[in-house]
């Protein structure tokens, strides 16, 4: 395990990383309340989010968390495809919500949380895998050709992210519909 007790800033990062999901459950209802979606914004944002979710699914079908330094699939092209996908999903949600307030809240949350998650994760990977991770991070580790596995994506829990994507678009669509009948 990473020695995040080594410094005050490390402890602070670790605490924030542990609160990431909990804070997400606070940010989400605020974002839905502030949202001012239209059907066209939901469609446009949904398409952007679908690209992010597709990237997440592809990555989840390759990564074997805590077992190896993954270098197949999207990991050949970017060090953090799951986080990149999450960022794209977030931007899609902002587009779908059609609200400057939502943009500030969601993009602020994503900027902080993704930076913290990446920082903590990279420290853990360096500690666990040493030079293999350093080689991956520098682009000198040879890429693997392991095929995508839907079973691996499900093992990694990506079906939950997919359900969240569908639910968020459904809730925004419901908000548009309810606004049109009131």
Distance separating alpha carbons of residues 109 and 124, to the nearest angstrom:
22
Q: What is the pLDDT of residue 132?
A: 94
Give me the mean pLDDT over the 19-30 stretch: 90
d(CA 41, CA 14): 36
pLDDT in tens, 28-57: 999 999 999 999 999 999 999 999 999 999
8 against 130, higher pLDDT: 130
- Classify the C-alpha dihedral 3-5-6-10 as positive or negative: positive
Closest by Cα among 66, 70, 89 to 80: 70
Which pLDDT belongs to residue 1? 47
Distance CA 25, CA 165 (A): 14
Average pLDDT over every residue of 167-177: 97
Residue 104 has pLDDT above 60, yes or no: yes
Written as six digits, the tokens of 27 are 């940010």
Across the chain, what does the average pLDDT equal?
Answer: 93
Is residue 70 within 8 A of residue 92, CB to CB? The reply is no
The pLDDT tens digits of the residues spanning 52-96 come to 999 999 999 999 999 999 999 999 999 999 999 999 999 999 999
Q: Which domains does the chain have, with CATH numbers?
A: 8-181 (1.20.120)
What's the alpha-carbon Rg for the chain, to the nearest Å?
Answer: 18
Torsion sign (Cα): 133, 136, 140, 144: positive
Q: What is the pLDDT at residue 19? A: 85
| C-alpha to C-alpha distance for 163 and 61, rounded to whole angstroms | 16
Chain centroid, CA 6 distance in Å: 27
């Amino acid at each position: 395990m990473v020695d995040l007790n080594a410094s005050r800033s490390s402890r602070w990062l670790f605490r924030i990383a542990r609160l990431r999901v909990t804070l997400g459950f606070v940010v989400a209802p605020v974002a839905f309340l502030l949202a001012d979606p239209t059907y066209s914004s939901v469609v446009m944002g949904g398409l952007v989010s679908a690209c992010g979710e597709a990237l997440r699914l592809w990555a989840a079908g390759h990564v074997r968390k805590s077992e190896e330094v993954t270098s197949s699939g999207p990991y050949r092209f970017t060090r953090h495809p799951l986080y990149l996908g999450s960022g794209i999903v977030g931007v899609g949600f902002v587009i779908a919500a059609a609200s400057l307030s939502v943009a500030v809240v969601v993009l602020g949350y994503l900027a902080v949380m993704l930076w913290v998650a990446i920082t903590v994760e990279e420290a853990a990977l360096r500690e666990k895998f040493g030079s293999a991770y350093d080689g991956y991070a520098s682009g000198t580790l040879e890429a693997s050709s392991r095929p995508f596995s839907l079973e691996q994506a499900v093992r990694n829990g990506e079906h939950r992210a997919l359900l969240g994507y569908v639910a968020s678009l459904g809730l925004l669509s419901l908000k548009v519909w309810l606004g049109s009948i009131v």
